Amino acid sequence: MRRYDLNWATLSFLVALALFFIAFLFYPLWYAVVKSVMVDNKFTFTFYELMLTSPVYQEAILNSFRLGTITTIATTILSLPIAFFLVRYDFRGKNLLNGLILVPMVLPPFVGAIGMKQMFARFGSINLLLLDIGFIDQPIDWFGGGGFVGVVILEVLHLYPIMYLNVAASLANIDPSLEEAARNMGSSGFKLFRTVTFPLMLPGYFAGAIIVFIWAFTDLGTPLIFNYRQVVSVQIFNSIEDINENPMAYALVVFVLLLTVFFFYLSKTLLGNKRYEMIARGHVSSASRPASTGLTALIYVSMLSLTGIAMLPHLSVFLTSITEQWFMSVLPQELTGKYYGMVFEHPLALSSIKTSLILSVLSTSLDVVLGVAIAYLLTRTRIPYKGVLDATAMLPLALPGLVLAFGYLAGYSGTFLDARNNPMPLLVIAYAVRRLPYMVRAAYAGFQQTSVTLEEAAQNLGASRLRILFQITFPLIIANLVAGGILCFSFAMLEVSDSLILALKDEYYPITKAIYALLGRISDGPYLASAMGVFGMFLLIISLFLAGRFLGRRMGELFRA
Amino acid sequence: MVGVTLENVTKRFDNVVALERINLQINPGEFFFLLGPSGCGKTTLLRILAGFYTPEGGHVHFGDRDITLVPPHKRNTGMVFQNYALWPHMTVWKNVEYGLTMRNINQHEKDQRVKRALEMVQMAGYADRSPNQLSGGQQQRVALARALVIEPGVILMDEPLSNLDARLRLEMREHLQDLHKALGVTIIYVTHDQKEALAMGDRVAVMQMGQVAQIGTPREVYTRPATRFVADFIGEINLIPGDITNVQDTIIHTDIGDIRGATDRTFTKGQRVLCAVRPEALDFLEGEPSKHDNVVSGQVKHVIYLGEVEQYIVELLDGTQIKLVEYDPAEQRAMPGDSVRLKFSSQRVVILPDEEDDRHETV
């Protein structure tokens, strides 16, 4: 038996794939690293020194750390109890609440920031309301510290669902008999949680915490909208214009990159070897128990108020979008639908929608082709360096979008791909690379759930490999592919950091960058931007719903196969 | 060690009755088995004893203490889980030590007791290992040590050997028996494996659909099954339906002739019953039968050689097939197609009420 399944087609695809990853994943990162330590062909650490000594950069780094840390802690505090109650208790409408938790994810936080400002600005609705009823004399500075609080709130409201998903999954993964064994040994309550439950959850919790931390640390859109500029991400964004004169941004990008690598390394070494193989064999599932009426009420009240608060920015965006003028009043004075019409008339809005559609269709197609091929190679063939391929395809998941986008812009500057001339090719590739992990995962899951014996049966009856792929395998995993594709598409439509950084000319603005640009225009800009934000929300809701439908309906069938 | 008493214990899951008025008396120091097929309620019963389930009705006593509503962590039971449930984030030593820590025992005593417990299960050399580095059999032993070390009043075992391979299972059986003898602790052991129950148990409760079908020593439940279910579930048995024609001499009229049985129960004349005969109680009749023997005739259908035993399937005149097992078969006694006569002593015929027939009458 040969060691590997390698024919010319596989081999050339692998080579092409390697070149693609080298060009669009490793080279941009490498370029930033090199630029950060080389000036006029001389090796130097000047920029790092400057980064760590200059008060401006010190403050930015410190602020980013504070932002990341506070967001991580706050999302932990929010999501731990929610996960605990939703995983451990049964009550009516549990599925509904479970779905409701994810709602805040449907809006890029920077669109939420528009609504947030409307509500909580110095003369926003809340302050005006409080002034009206005479509760306060002076408007309260809700966003404190030059917008820091506002950014934190928005990050927390946007990211707690991600933390929840990780915490809940790790909690649900714990074999109930492990806790039962502890109770049998005389442990209970908080002692039980501290000695058994939490240590077992730790790997899953840590993974979630890292995602949240890195996300908050590198998020560009939200601080930009709040005009909170003393953070690393905005510093990088600001220095794009004069990157050739001031290479500080390279050092900052490498700093973020190293930080990311460090955290993921930490999670791998500290907790990687502790990823407990959970035995799910016991036929007893006592993990969840019915909640009393009082507890159910408590869960509902707290969950609904949390979701309500998390939805405030969305609601506010919606209200803004249907308002003629909303200024110095608690609620909108005059309603109108005209901004929705304008979305399809305004030249910038219209062209941005077209651009985003083209970009998303192209990048999604690329994702589907690459993702399915990679997943197929990983699950169905014996090829050399499988681990490397797997890790590489998953790498963009850990990589902050900011870092990669910056690498593209700088690394391809002056080539035929220069984003300053026409960002479209790089945008397509950036979108595709960033979302490739989702597609690979979706297809991978499909291949794994589909027993190889189904394919072998067809082979046994004389079908060729290609025929089997199209007649047996694809029909069985189509749900996964559709779901993965929908996710890639909708994420691409509302992608933020690549779009903000790479699209530098009006004519190539995707939707998100157009929204950002419109917000800066005094007159009708914010209203139009809000209307576009509402469209974005609907797009995401519908795609998430569809993806869930596709996977949900077919999930059972797939498992039975 | 304590005795365990269950009074009318009833458990429901969403209106499905899992246990129906269970009454049991388990003596201090007894090695007691709950035996039954999956879904019979045996694990539910064990989990009620551990405190993971609260019964909807009835009471559970440990000794004189009513523990029905006592939470699991205050019961002082040592449970061995089917999947061992060793905490993967603690070493073997920490796993065993945990229960002692919860009981606020001082470090010196803890060290001694953990050491002794690990020695007892022959795992002293593995104290610093992580459970993931152990084989199934070794994890099993650690789980046992964890349950033993707290010196529980009752040890509860939930199919502890079901994940081990056959050879290891036999080894652990002996080991468990030795431990029970040495410690004299009350053990309540759930299994669906009748061999485990027969081999180790002081007494066995055979359970069926949430009820106790029979309680007795292994010999009693095997040789004197109380119901058709028990007879069927434990070992193999031939069942021949018939009517009681003579109450005095226990003679049953069947389609294959009269069968004489032995019973300490009282039946009424004309009652529908089953004559239950173990395959090994049957023998080929050569020459004349003695006066205690029942004799039936038939034709050999299949002969199955299994090494230590040989099975003969014989079709009787009315078409029923019965099985005969011969131990240590030196040579084949009959060929398929042979006409044979079979004998079995009336002492080996258990008369059981025909439950299906009972049901028909009550409807």
Query: Cβ contacts (< 8 Å) between B73 and chain A: which residues?
Result: 183-188, 192
Contact A183 B77 (CB under 8 A): no
Enter the tokens of residue B128.
Answer: 């610093």
- Rounded Cα distance, A214 and A265, in Å: 13
What pLDDT is stored for residue A144 in this prediction? 66
- Which residue among B170, B200, B229 closes a domain? B229
According to CATH, the topology of domain A1-43+337-561 is: MetI-like fold (1.10.3720)
Check whether residue B34 and residue B66 sit in a common domain. yes
Average pLDDT over residues B249-275: 85
- Rounded Cα distance, B70 and B60, in Å: 10
Nearest to B73 among A186, A276, A286 (CB): A186
Contact B78 A186 (CB under 8 A): no
User: Taking phi first (over 0 means left), then psi (-120 to 50 degrees means alpha), and beta for anything else, what does residue B305 get?
Assistant: beta
pLDDT of A561 higher than 60: no
Q: Does A289 touch chain B (CB under 8 A)?
A: no
- Asked if B169 and B110 count as a contact pair (C-beta separation under 8 A), the reply is no
B199-218 pLDDT, tens digit each: 999 999 999 999 999 999 99
Stronger pLDDT, A329 or A50, i.e. the higher one? A50
Q: How far is A286 from chain B (nearest CA, A)?
A: 8
Homologous superfamily of the A66-231+304-336 domain (CATH): MetI-like (1.10.3720.10)
What pLDDT is stored for residue B142 in this prediction? 94
B21-48 pLDDT, tens digit each: 999 999 999 999 999 998 899 999 999 9
Percentage of chain A modeled with pLDDT above 90? 5
Q: Interface of chain B against chain A, CB under 8 Å?
A: 38, 43, 47, 50-53, 71-79, 81-83, 85-89, 98-99, 102-103, 132, 146, 150, 156, 163
What pLDDT is stored for residue B264 in this prediction? 77
ipTM value, please give it.
0.76
pLDDT of A246 higher than 80: no
Mapped onto helix, strand or coil, the DSSP state of residue A216 is helix
pLDDT of B361 higher than 60: no
Q: How many domains are there within chain B? A: 2
Mapped onto helix, strand or coil, the DSSP state of residue A325 is coil
Average pLDDT over residues A455-481: 77
Nearest to B52 among A186, A277, A286 (CB): A286
Residues 519-538 in A contacting B (C-alpha not used; CB under 8 Å)? none
Contact B50 A188 (CB under 8 A): no
- Asked if A18 and A373 count as a contact pair (C-beta separation under 8 A), the reply is no
Alpha-helical runs (H) found in A420-560: 424-449, 452-460, 465-468, 474-493, 497-502, 511-519, 525-560
What type of residue sits at position B229? F
Enter the tokens of residue A558.
Answer: 């797939």
Contact A200 B89 (CB under 8 A): yes
B330-348 pLDDT, tens digit each: 888 889 999 999 999 988 9
Query: Cβ contacts (< 8 Å) between A196 and chain B: which residues?
Result: 87
What pLDDT is stored for residue A222 in this prediction? 84
Mean pLDDT estimate for chain B:
89
| Bridge partners (DSSP) listed for residue B284 | B342
Contact A185 B163 (CB under 8 A): no
Mapped onto helix, strand or coil, the DSSP state of residue A475 is helix
Q: What are the residues whose beta carbons fall under 8 Å from the beta carbon of B158, sequence distance 6 or more?
A: B43, B46, B47, B79, B80, B81, B82, B190
Residue B212: CATH number of its domain: 3.40.50.300
Check whether residue B184 and residue B257 sit in a common domain. no
Contact B73 A177 (CB under 8 A): no
- Rounded Cα distance, A115 and A318, in Å: 8
B115-152 pLDDT, tens digit each: 999 998 899 999 999 888 899 889 999 999 999 999 99
Average pLDDT over residues B293-319: 91
Check whether residue B220 and residue B273 sit in a common domain. no
Contact A276 B88 (CB under 8 A): yes
Alpha-helical runs (H) found in A450-510: 452-460, 465-468, 474-493, 497-502
**Ordered strands of the B57-62 beta sheet:** B16-26, B4-13, B57-62, B65-66
Check whether residue B254 and residue B143 sit in a common domain. no
Average pLDDT over residues B193-203: 93
Query: Cβ contacts (< 8 Å) between A175 and chain B: which residues?
Result: 83, 85
Contact A180 B89 (CB under 8 A): no
- Which residue among B186, B203, B229 closes a domain? B229
pLDDT of A560 higher than 50: no
pLDDT of A1 higher than 60: no
What pLDDT is stored for residue B25 in this prediction? 95
- Asked if B149 and B100 count as a contact pair (C-beta separation under 8 A), the reply is yes
| Bridge partners (DSSP) listed for residue B189 | B33, B157
Query: Cβ contacts (< 8 Å) between A283 and chain B: which residues?
Result: 38, 43
B19: containing domain? 4-229
Q: Does A188 touch chain B (CB under 8 A)?
A: yes
- The residue ranges of every structural domain in chain A are 1-43+337-561, 66-231+304-336
A525-546 pLDDT, tens digit each: 778 888 888 888 787 777 777 7
B217-239 pLDDT, tens digit each: 999 999 999 999 999 899 889 99
A153-201 pLDDT, tens digit each: 888 888 888 888 888 878 877 888 888 899 989 888 889 988 998 888 8
Q: Please state, as a whole number, how many other Cβ atoms lie within 10 Å of the Cβ of residue A178.
A: 23
- Rounded Cα distance, B163 and B192, in Å: 13
Q: Does A194 touch chain B (CB under 8 A)?
A: no
pLDDT of A337 higher than 60: yes
Nearest to B99 among A177, A186, A199 (CB): A186
Stronger pLDDT, B63 or A511, i.e. the higher one? B63
Check whether residue B209 and residue B256 sit in a common domain. no
Contact B85 A281 (CB under 8 A): no
What pLDDT is stored for residue A522 in this prediction? 65
Contact B74 A186 (CB under 8 A): yes
Between A126-135, A248-257, A269-278, B38-47, the lowest mean confidence (pLDDT) is in A269-278
> Measured between alpha carbons, how far is residue A145 from residues A62, A149, A442, B172, B305 in Å?
14, 7, 42, 68, 88
Contact A184 B72 (CB under 8 A): yes
- Rounded Cα distance, B243 and A274, in Å: 67
- Rounded Cα distance, A494 and A431, in Å: 10
Backbone torsions φ then ψ of A64, nearest 5 degrees: -60, -40
How many angstroms separate the most distant Cα atoms in chain B? 76
Check whether residue B202 and residue B245 sit in a common domain. no
Q: Residue A454 — very low, low, confident or very high, per pLDDT cuts 50/70/90?
A: confident
pLDDT of A282 higher than 70: no
Check whether residue B193 and residue B299 sit in a common domain. no
- Rounded Cα distance, A297 and B125, in Å: 52
Residue B273: CATH number of its domain: 2.40.50.100
What type of residue sits at position A490? S
CA distance from start to end of chain B: 47
What type of residue sits at position A511? I
Average pLDDT over residues B39-62: 92
- Asked if B20 and B210 count as a contact pair (C-beta separation under 8 A), the reply is yes
A197-218 pLDDT, tens digit each: 888 888 778 878 888 888 888 8
Q: Please state, as a whole number, how many other Cβ atoms lie within 10 Å of the Cβ of residue A477.
A: 26
- Asked if B23 and B219 count as a contact pair (C-beta separation under 8 A), the reply is no
| Fold match, A1-43+337-561 / A66-231+304-336 | yes
Query: Cβ contacts (< 8 Å) between B85 and chain A: which residues?
Result: 175, 177-178, 180-181
What pLDDT is stored for residue A411 in this prediction? 81
pLDDT of B244 higher than 80: yes
- Which residue among B229, B245, B264 closes a domain? B229
Rounded to 5°, the CA angle B205-B207-B210 comes to: 135
What pLDDT is stored for residue A239 in this prediction? 81
Contact A185 B73 (CB under 8 A): yes
Contact A184 B71 (CB under 8 A): no
Backbone torsions φ then ψ of B81, nearest 5 degrees: -85, 155
Query: Cβ contacts (< 8 Å) between A202 and chain B: which residues?
Result: 89
Q: Exposure pattern of A414-424 as b/e (b: 16+ CB <10 Å)?
A: eeebebeeebb
Q: Please state, as a whole number, how many other Cβ atoms lie within 10 Å of the Cβ of residue A556.
A: 8
Check whether residue B256 and residue B325 sit in a common domain. yes
Contact A181 B85 (CB under 8 A): yes
Number of helices (H), then strands (E), in chain B: 9, 20
Taking only Cα atoms into account, the Rg of chain B, rounded to an integer number of angstroms, comes to 25
Query: Cβ contacts (< 8 Å) between B52 and chain A: which residues?
Result: 180, 183, 286
What pLDDT is stored for residue B358 in this prediction? 46
Check whether residue B87 and residue B223 sit in a common domain. yes
Rounded to 5°, the CA angle A282-A283-A288 comes to: 95
Average pLDDT over residues B173-192: 92
Check whether residue B159 and residue B187 sit in a common domain. yes
What pLDDT is stored for residue A287 in this prediction? 59
